[in-house]
Structure 1
Amino acid sequence: ILLFLYLILSVFLKNNNNLNLNIFQENFIKFDSKSLISSFQFGFVFFIAVAATNLFHQGNWQRVYAAKNEKILVKSLLISFFIIFLIVLFMGITGSISKLNGLKFNEDLAFFSIILNKNDILISLIVLIFSLCLTISTVDTLLNSISSLTIVHSKDFFNFKYLKDKKLSNVVLILLSIICLIIALYQFSVLYLFLLADLLCCACVYVIFKGLYQKKIYPYRSLVLIMIGLCLGLLFFPSTDFSKSILVGGIFNKSIFNEIFTNSLLFWSFLFATFSPMIFDLIYRKTK
């Protein structure tokens, strides 16, 4: 992995040999307190988003339950953390250097826009193969999870005579694949779709994990709490150009809001979606 990262870094520097690598220090001195706060808020947003999303990733839970014992689980998680940290740090640094140097690239596919070059066909092919492997692995895990959930819980919702267990799961997977294909044809922003999924996960985090430790589950109350978190999050969720939201710039004029809100819509959206279900649940239990 280290050799592969070194190889990619070499190609990156070769393709962009006019880069100023001291630009971090030069720009950090110029940052004012508002810029630093916005930067840390943006970083915190993605920390919440990735953490919330991965808590619902069936592949992670499969690996947890497949571990031989707790010691092996802890060791494997630490090794995975170290590897992922290096990869994410590397990709973040290359993107930051390129952005600060004024290089033009597609933000959704920044890493590929920077690395891929017509003169380096071999590197482009290697990156493409690794990307396909990652995508196939993710899709395979997703298909397994959907199929498992459909087979286990289909009897609670459907009672079709000719659609039993595996047949029903196959039909569901085909229908979902068609929907995904139609959405893909519209070429929506990958990052924006990912953030929408993160918002839903943030709204569900408190309710789902409270249910893991609570003996009695209240389905109606849980649904209401999730909808509260989702609705409040959507009020602040930014538009595709990240300039306004339903509440800020939509229902109310953007000028009446402080810059703390207008410059960090995504941060407040995830914050409300994550913590509002918890607050409303506490209020309900106290007033009951």
Structure 2
Amino acid sequence: LNLNIFQENFIKFDNKSLISSFQFGFVFFIAVAATNLFHQGNWQRVYAAKSENILVKSLLISFFIIFLIVLFMGVTGTISKLNGLKFNEDLAFFSIILNQNDILISLIVLIFSLSLTISTVDTLLNSISSLAIVHGKDFFNFKYLKDKKLSNVVLILLSITCLIIALYQFSVLYLFLLADLLCCACVYVIFRGLYQKKIYPCRSIVLIMSGLCLGLLFFPSTDFSKSLLVGIIFNKSIFNEIFTNSLLFWSFLFATFSPMVLDIIYRRAN
């Protein structure tokens, strides 16, 4: 790889490209942070810690390790792009690592990729299973299908669905982004409620729905060229490039912070 090309092209980046890159990074920071706050597997790890001191140390160590991994993945994507490698955006890391067709490196990457996937799926299955066992009786009242049996049925159905999606090679990115949007709309209300002595269900629902609706107005279509507000209800040409080029950014931003702003306005008015 020619790192000189990387240095020359990085200097040529204009302000718009840099702004878009930072917006993109900020979008996924909000999305991943909000989604993982609702990840049952993460909370199980928190409550499984032996002591608060061990929990803090483990979280700090994990933070630095993950930061370095994500930084490395981002740099590989940038280097791949600037060296003219043809790749899909979500496969940039593999494009640069497997560029030389080295069998040993390919085998190592395959082993680590499988380990990461298996670890993630294991955490996800444990969290879904525990939720089905604990809260299943609140939604279903089957005589012969309770607790562990209900959990097994839910996991089998989800596994079949995932298998079908994988066989037909459907992209799950758009569904993932929709889930992120919902989590962004809920994150303020849910976690503020943890520190409130009294919870107001109606106000909470209104705040969540307002954030979700405002987010959906800017949420991009499947081709990411327009949204419900920008391009469908109103002509795209009347909006500034700041909005039209960063629909996902504004969607997550409004979904995350509009419930907070509306809640502050309501409390001051009363």
TM (normalized to structure 1)? 0.85
* Equivalent of residue 34 in structure 1, options 16, 30, 33: 16
Unaligned runs of 5+ in 1: 1-18
- Give the C-alpha shift of residue 259 in structure 1: 0.7
- Aligned equivalents of 2:168 and 2:217: distance in 1? 25
Residues 253 and 186 of structure 1: is their aligned pair in 2 closer, same or farther, counting only changes over 3 Å?
A: farther
1:229-257 residue CA offsets vs partner (Å, 9 max, x unmatched) = 22221221222332222221122111000
For the residue of structure 2 that corresponds to 1:189, the secondary structure is coil
C-alpha contact (below 8 Å) 1:147/1:170 kept by paired residues = yes
- Decide whether the 8 Å contact of 2:85 with 2:95 is kept in 1: no
Equivalent-residue separation in structure 1 for 2:146 and 2:14 (angstroms): 62
CA distance in 2, matches of 1:285, 1:178: 47
CA contact (8 A) 2:80 2:92 kept: no
For 1:216 and 1:174, locate their aligned partners in 2 and report how far apart those are by CA, in whole Å: 39
Give the drift of 1:181: 2.9
Note if contact 1:117-1:124 (Cα within 8 Å) is conserved in structure 2: no
User: Alignment partner of 1:44: what SS?
Assistant: helix
Q: Say if 1:108 and 1:190, in contact at 8 Å, map to a contact too.
A: no
- Output one character per residue of 1:168-211: Cα deviation in whole Å (capped at 9) or x when no partner: 12222222223333333442334433322222221111121012
Bigger mean CA deviation after superposition, 214-223 or 163-172: 214-223
How big is the shift at 1:121?
2.1
1:224 & 1:129 partners in 2: Cα distance?
Answer: 47
Instruction: Kindly provide the CA deviation profile for residues 15-42 of structure 1, in whole angstroms up to 9, marking residues without a partner as x.
Output: xxxx331344323433333332222212
Q: Which runs of 5+ in 2 are unaligned?
A: none
> 1:287: Cα distance to partner?
4.5
Structure 1: distance between partners of 2:92 and 2:17: 22
Q: Distance in 2 between matches of 1:251 and 1:185?
A: 36
Bigger shift: residues 92-101 or 169-178: 169-178
Does the CA-based 8 Å contact 2:207-2:262 persist in structure 1?
A: yes
Residue deviations 1:81-126 (CA, integer Å, cap 9, x gap): 2211221111111110111222110112221233235832222222
Q: What is the deviation of 1:284?
A: 3.6
TM score, norm. by length of structure 2: 0.90
Local SS of the residue matching 2:194: helix
Alignment deviations for residues 52-99 of structure 1 (CA, whole Å, 9 cap, x no partner): 122122232222222222222222222212211221111111110111
Shift of 1:285: 3.5
Q: CA deviation at 1:270?
A: 0.6
Distance 1:30 1:118, change over 3 A: closer
Q: Which residue in the other structure is 2:264 paired with?
A: 282
Shift of residue 258, structure 1, vs aligned partner = 0.5
